[in-house]
Structure 1
Amino acid sequence: MNLVGIDTLAKAPLADGDVFIGGRWLPAADGRTCPVYDPATGDLIREVSAAGPDDARAAVEAAAAAAAGWRATPPRRRSEILHDAFRLMREHSDQLAALIVRENGKAYRDAVAEAGYAAEFFRWFAEEAVRIGSSFGDAPGGGFRHIVRRHPVGVTAFVTPWNFPAAMATRKIAPALAAGCPVLLKPAPETPLTALAVAALLTEAGLPGGLLNVLPTDRAPEVVSTWLGDERIRKFSFTGSTETGKLLLAQAAANVVNVTMELGGNAPFVVCADADVDAAVQGAMDAKMRGGGEVCIAANRFYVHADVAAEFTAKFGAAMAAVRTGGGMEEGVTLGPMINQAAVQKIRSLVDDALARGARIAAQSTVPDGPGHFHPAMVLTDVPDDARVLHEEVFGPVAPLTTFTDEDEVLARANATVHGLASYVYSRDVARALRLAERLETGMVGLNRGLLSDPAAPFGGVKQSGLGREGGREGIEAFLETQYIALDWPL
């Protein structure tokens, strides 16, 4: 399948199958398939080949066979292929965005933004591929020399989520390929089509067979356990829930596999008394509503200083009430459906719990009649500290607001969580904002800014929000091993 076939992915199964191993499109070894649904209608998009353990083993064989050749490929050549992938992704961003909307449900404007964001990982790591350095120096005591070199970690295996089906794939694939590592990818069963499109795109860009193997499946435990049980897998990266991450960490420990984990979040959004309220409202909309709130770094808890609480609540509530909900491709829609009905039910359970404890709905948008997994944009006020919505990741368009008066108090409340992925602070006083940022126990902080992600910056959390970093210069480090050579070369 070539790149032109991207727009056919959502219409019919590929002629030879949807499992991509060794540069070939294949059916699942046992013929299994799994359904992909449109979240806006609940309709079946199509059946997709569902890989199993035999396919997982075949993918490892293909990646291992391709590893030595890719490791020996000059960094400049690896860089050129990634640059071509970036170019092709930009050229076909409309097709990719439409595919994302179809299987993920997010509003088209968010899907376009994701397609652009995903492409940038190819460009950034194309540039990093040629900057992998080694060093040579004298031993301080004399008598010999130090050579320190970096080399690819080996075969890598990735599990990506449904909320950013393009960007979460390229954020892992690009640095691995740049470093010289072959890749195994298991996309989320809700959104496999975008990952298949990325595979088609990289093939079009000239990536040799075996270096990217994509296994769509609804049998994740069987596939991933097969990979983690194979000693040839030397790097594993997972983006998803903390609960699943803990289970995978335990499996990876058996073979001492190098891991990167980007797990759950519970991001606080702090609005200080001296904040520019209008800017804070815009930042809140960015931090809460991008991707319908189904984002790990989405603002989850809003702490607003009592002096500006009334103004912020009124303006933020008006903005949330004005959100237009509907199918992602509809004109003017900024909030699409949630990924499935289970997601809607979880959000509703958190809202119901907060209301039962004394919270109230200050504002909400309308949702369309008929099918689809829709939930309104909603602002909750008077939310008590014991409400579940302040302690569990909402993963939806609901914003619980509470007030504060003391800096130490709000920091204690903001840090009272096992998660530590992202946080946000709004204040006109840069010194205050930086002071708060340095005391917030999160891997990333947005100061007077509601959008954090950038391929050129390290992405990741602390505490139970993960291990390691993706993106930035740190992103390629996860795929490199350091080797020290002592050279007998007297001074």
Structure 2
Amino acid sequence: MSSESELLARVPDRLFIGGEWVASTSGRSIEVRDPSTGLVIKTIADASVADAASAMDAAAHAQASWAATAPRVRGELLRGAFDLLQERADDFALLMTLEMGKPLAEARGEVTYGGEFLRWFSEEAVRISGRFGRNPEGTGRMIVTHKPVGPSFLITPWNFPLAMATRKIGPALAAGCTSIIKPAELTPLTTLYFAKLLQDAGLPAGVVNVLTTSTSKEVSSPIIADPRLRKLSFTGSTPVGVALLKQASENVLRTSMELGGNAPFLVFEDADLDKAVDGAMIAKFRNIGQACTAANRFIVHESVAEEFAAKVTERVRALTIGRGTEEGVGIGPLINDGAVDKADELVQDALSRGAKLVTGGSRVDRDGSFYQPTVLIDVVAGSDILRQEIFGPVITIIPFSDEADAVAKANDTEYGLVSYAFTQDLARGLRLIDSLDTGMMGLNVGVVSNAAAPFGGVKQSGVGREGGLEGIHEYLETKYVLVPDSSL
């Protein structure tokens, strides 16, 4: 593995437009900080509206040739990128730990997960199919085919800087779409380094363009308003997603929105509690709780709530807090001090309403943006922590009396991304598939994400799906042709 300084020196500090690394026209720069220390680790270009126009020009110019590129060639490029990612896995893991803070072991897991989107969509590129058959009236033949949507604008969040990029770029490239990707200001380095990897893999000029900016709305708005753009994909908060949907409606863009979550984690009286605790630890503390799929509300049957809380608390107290590069660290920093403030405000609100603190519940007295892993029990209905995404290492436990009560509590949210349920009753598990209002569900498991599966939610958790067979169709238009018998 490279040293931190050697790796950071290799990460581009410019914008990637039209196959070239170019300086920003803004004259501004972005300071990227290590959240475990608060120190600046690299300074990079800060894109302007003029840079956004150049990126849009490049993507539009390259669209026709990329769409005409043979599916096998597109797939082989993605496979080549996958292979390069395996060779550079340690560098990508370290880079994510430096700019985002997650423990190095988790960062390595993200490299594996993110890479799978490249491999999956390299295979899907050659499987874009249509259909052919007689119409019901018997008067002609129907041809249904698919074509690339066109230039796409991809906006990624800070919490999974590699996987969110590959989950969007992978299907766009496979489908024949060019793209402009705008990573989050807090964690842009991984995307820049990934663009360099794509360039090394043979990516044609203009097919992928990268804009890093501190003025996201200012830079994004003219891209979304450009009539040449045909697709918008966003992962982030629901309020921002709603605003983007309004903008996208002006040009009737195809949209994919993966928005907020408030995942319920149900533990029934017949659950294997040890497995439920294992599931809880990964569903809550993966990525330090900073995931839209993180379990927010632990809804536990009243007969096992006390035992479950005790088992979870024992595990939580054993977690080691520290910089993600340190051996054995299980809890790294939150992304910045604002995230620490939000987590603490939610905890203090819950305590003021009657919740009981079992462990944690405060900032960590050290450099960086750290918050103690926390367990709250008997959280009262109406507490902010039950309504909002926590995005931090806090477990909230509330009891339920029966299945109907559990489902009612689980569905009592405007979000519907993912749910988790632990029960040994198969019939109950099958009922929960229908009764829980979420786009995904983990039955006796704490992680559901997989490149081969459709990722996405319902209600205010978004529209569209990423990954799986469904993922590439988000970047394809369907075209129907009728050929009458009289012309044959």
Q: Fold conserved (TM > 0.5)?
A: yes
Q: Following TM superposition, by how much is the alpha carbon of 1:140 offset from its aligned partner in structure 2, in angstroms?
A: 2.2
Q: For residue 33 of structure 2, what is the aligned residue in structure 1?
A: 37
Q: For residue 208 of structure 2, what is the aligned residue in structure 1?
A: 212
Residue 299 of structure 1: which of 295, 299, 309 is its match?
A: 295
Question: Is the Cα contact below 8 Å between 2:142 and 2:482 reproduced in 1?
Answer: yes
Question: Is the Cα contact below 8 Å between 2:7 and 2:91 reproduced in 1?
Answer: no
Q: Could you tell me how far apart the structure 1 residues matched to 2:319 and 2:174 are? A: 40
Is the aligned partner of 1:289 residue 2:285? Answer: yes
Q: Following TM superposition, by how much is the alpha carbon of 1:31 offset from its aligned partner in structure 2, in angstroms?
A: 2.1
Q: Look up the equivalent residue of 2:307 and give its one-letter code.
A: E
Q: Following TM superposition, by how much is the alpha carbon of 1:365 offset from its aligned partner in structure 2, in angstroms?
A: 8.9
Q: Could you tell me how far apart the structure 1 residues matched to 2:208 and 2:484 are? A: 40
- Secondary structure in structure 2 of the residue aligned to 1:474: helix
Q: Could you tell me how far apart the structure 1 residues matched to 2:194 and 2:462 are? A: 25
Mapping 1:187-266, distance limit 5 Å:
187-266=183-262
Question: Is the Cα contact below 8 Å between 1:33 and 1:50 reproduced in 2?
Answer: yes
Cα displacement string for residues 264-323 of structure 1 (whole angstroms, at most 9, x for unaligned residues): 000000000000000000000010000000000100000111111121111001011111
Using the aligned pairs only, state the percent identity: 51
Question: Is the Cα contact below 8 Å between 1:321 and 1:365 reproduced in 2?
Answer: no
Q: Could you tell me how far apart the structure 2 residues matched to 1:120 and 1:287 are? A: 20
- Secondary structure in structure 2 of the residue aligned to 1:379: strand
Q: Following TM superposition, by how much is the alpha carbon of 1:135 offset from its aligned partner in structure 2, in angstroms?
A: 1.8
Return closer, same or farther for 1:332/1:6 CA change in 2, 3 Å cut-off: closer
Q: Could you tell me how far apart the structure 1 residues matched to 2:26 and 2:336 are? A: 27
Cα displacement string for residues 390-435 of structure 1 (whole angstroms, at most 9, x for unaligned residues): 1110000001101111111111111011000011000011111221
Q: Following TM superposition, by how much is the alpha carbon of 1:63 offset from its aligned partner in structure 2, in angstroms?
A: 0.7
- Secondary structure in structure 2 of the residue aligned to 1:233: coil
Residue 389 of structure 1: which of 385, 398, 417 is its match?
A: 385
Residue 10 of structure 1: which of 8, 22, 33 is its match?
A: 8
Q: Following TM superposition, by how much is the alpha carbon of 1:436 offset from its aligned partner in structure 2, in angstroms?
A: 1.7
Q: For residue 267 of structure 2, what is the aligned residue in structure 1?
A: 271
Residue 117 of structure 1: which of 113, 121, 137 is its match?
A: 113
Q: For residue 328 of structure 2, what is the aligned residue in structure 1?
A: 332
Q: TM-score, normalised by structure 2?
A: 0.97
Q: For residue 49 of structure 1, what is the aligned residue in structure 2?
A: 45
Mapping 1:135-150, distance limit 5 Å:
135-150=131-146
Q: Could you tell me how far apart the structure 2 residues matched to 1:484 and 1:138 are? A: 13
Q: TM-score, normalised by structure 1?
A: 0.97
Q: Could you tell me how far apart the structure 2 residues matched to 1:144 and 1:425 are? A: 50
Return closer, same or farther for 1:44/1:7 CA change in 2, 3 Å cut-off: closer
Question: Is the Cα contact below 8 Å between 2:31 and 2:43 reproduced in 1?
Answer: yes
Cα displacement string for residues 134-187 of structure 1 (whole angstroms, at most 9, x for unaligned residues): 222222223322111100000000110000000001000000000000010000
Q: Could you tell me how far apart the structure 2 residues matched to 1:350 and 1:105 are? A: 22
Q: Following TM superposition, by how much is the alpha carbon of 1:9 offset from its aligned partner in structure 2, in angstroms?
A: 5.7
Give the stretch that moved more between structures: 4-13 or 259-268: 4-13
- Secondary structure in structure 2 of the residue aligned to 1:130: helix
Q: Could you tell me how far apart the structure 2 residues matched to 1:414 and 1:150 are? A: 39
Q: Look up the equivalent residue of 1:346 and give its one-letter code.
A: K
Q: Could you tell me how far apart the structure 1 residues matched to 2:83 and 2:9 are? A: 25
Q: Could you tell me how far apart the structure 2 residues matched to 1:379 and 1:11 are? A: 40
Is the aligned partner of 1:481 residue 2:477? Answer: yes
Give the stretch that moved more between structures: 180-189 or 427-436: 427-436
Q: Could you tell me how far apart the structure 2 residues matched to 1:220 and 1:9 are? A: 27
Residue 306 of structure 2: which of 304, 310, 318 is its match?
A: 310
- Gaps of at least 5 residues in structure 1 are none
- Gaps of at least 5 residues in structure 2 are none
Is the aligned partner of 1:169 residue 2:165? Answer: yes
Q: Could you tell me how far apart the structure 2 residues matched to 1:340 and 1:129 are? A: 39
Mapping 1:436-455, distance limit 5 Å:
436-455=432-451
Q: Following TM superposition, by how much is the alpha carbon of 1:261 offset from its aligned partner in structure 2, in angstroms?
A: 0.2
Q: For residue 417 of structure 1, what is the aligned residue in structure 2?
A: 413
Question: Is the Cα contact below 8 Å between 2:125 and 2:175 reproduced in 1?
Answer: yes
Question: Is the Cα contact below 8 Å between 2:84 and 2:201 reproduced in 1?
Answer: yes
Q: For residue 97 of structure 2, what is the aligned residue in structure 1?
A: 101
Q: Following TM superposition, by how much is the alpha carbon of 1:11 offset from its aligned partner in structure 2, in angstroms?
A: 3.9
Return closer, same or farther for 1:301/1:289 CA change in 2, 3 Å cut-off: same
Question: Is the Cα contact below 8 Å between 1:317 and 1:364 reproduced in 2?
Answer: no
